[in-house]
Amino acid sequence: MDGYGAGTRTTPTRLRERARYDRETVHAVLDEAYICHLGFVADGEPVVLPTIHARVEETLYLHGSTGSRPLRLARDGLRVCVTVTLLDGLVLARSAFHHSMNYRSVVVHGQAQLVRDPEEKWAALTALVEHVVPGRSAGVRTPSARELAATALLRLPLTEVSAKVRAGGVNDEPEDLSLPHWAGVIPLTLVRGEPQSATDLDACIPTPDYLVIS
């Protein structure tokens, strides 16, 4: 299988030409983004919370605490919508109407389950740390039994998945091209700055290689 296939919930109601279902696009967005927005229904009301995630092959793991609401609700499985959005640019057209943004987003629908198996939990936690900083999981104190118990994780299969991508330049109306207004794209990039050591860090500990930006 090369893609996820368009389903009822994953076919956008507008701008369908921006929709993508191939795994390469979906994986790239999920892997690049530091956070996702987790949506669920609580007492009939929509709730959207930011959290961190990690993809392990065709499973998405979501981080939380055992006290948090989605994780308490998820004991018996919870319908969720997880959305990940990367911003790539501001698109300034000659007309207000055609202003847009360049972005890559992924929407995952499904039934989230609480991870109970200790080995899966450990693997998912490792994946979460590696997702944020590849190489980091080998340079930390691993979780104690108490910490593992205090960390809750949700598992969501990547089955109902779609991506949307807007890239490129301005799409103005032909009759607007001669207007005296500037048009173009302002690129947006999430930039990682220089690592700032903790004030109480032992001065003998160097900045690890995996943090050096090449």
Query: Rule CB under 8 A: which of 113-132 touch its own copies?
Result: 125-126, 128-129, 132
What are the DSSP calls for 30-57, one per residue?
HHH-S-EEEEEEETTEEEEEEE-EEEET
- Which residues on adjacent β-strands are paired with residue 110? 80
Q: Determine the interface stretch with its own copies among 23-31, 54-62, 94-102, 113-121 (rule: CB under 8 A).
A: 94-102
Residues between 59 and 78 that touch its own copies (CB under 8 A):
65, 67-69
Q: Is 1 in the site for its own copies (CB under 8 A)?
A: no
Min CB(22)–its own copies separation in Å:
20
d(CA 130, CA 136) in angstroms, rounded, equals 6
For its own copies, which is the closer residue by CB, 2 or 13? 13
Task: Provide the 3-class DSSP secondary structure of residue 139.
Answer: helix
For its own copies, which is the closer residue by CB, 4 or 185? 185
Q: Is 149 in the site for its own copies (CB under 8 A)?
A: no
**Interface size with its own copies, residues (CB under 8 A):** 95
d(CA 105, CA 9) in angstroms, rounded, equals 15
Residues between 9 and 48 that touch its own copies (CB under 8 A):
9, 13-15, 34-35, 37-41, 44-48
Min CB(21)–its own copies separation in Å:
17
Q: Determine the interface stretch with its own copies among 17-25, 54-62, 113-121, 201-209 (rule: CB under 8 A).
A: 201-209
Q: Determine the interface stretch with its own copies among 23-31, 53-61, 92-100, 113-121 (rule: CB under 8 A).
A: 92-100
Which listed residue (25, 113, 137, 159) binds its own copies by CB under 8 A? 137
Residues between 150 and 179 that touch its own copies (CB under 8 A):
150-151, 169-170, 172, 176-179
Helix or strand holding residue 24 (H, E): helix 23-32
d(CA 138, CA 209) in angstroms, rounded, equals 12
Residue 40 CB contacts under 8 Å (≥ 6 apart), including other chains: 46, 47, 70, 73, 78, 79, 80, 81, 112
Alpha-carbon distances of 96 from 92, 100, 173, 181, 182, rounded to whole Å:
8, 9, 11, 11, 12
Which listed residue (1, 57, 119, 191) binds its own copies by CB under 8 A? 191
And the tokens for 52? 């961190």
